[in-house]
Amino acid sequence: MKQSNKTNILLILLAIIIIITPLFIKKGAEFEGADDQAEDVINEINSDYEPWFDPIWEPPSGEIESLLFSLQVAIGAGIIGYIFGVMKEKRRVATNR
1-40 pLDDT, tens digit per residue, is: 677 788 999 999 999 999 899 888 888 777 677 777 888 8
Q: What angle do CA 22, 84, 89 make, to 5 degrees?
A: 145
Taking CA atoms, 89 is separated from 52, 61, 96, in Å, by 46, 42, 11
| pLDDT of amino acid 1 | 62
Q: Where are the domains of the chain?
A: 1-50, 61-97
CA dihedral 33, 36, 40, 46 (to 10 degrees): 130
Residue 86 reports pLDDT greater than 70: yes
29-62 pLDDT, tens digit per residue, is: 776 777 778 888 998 998 888 888 888 988 888 8
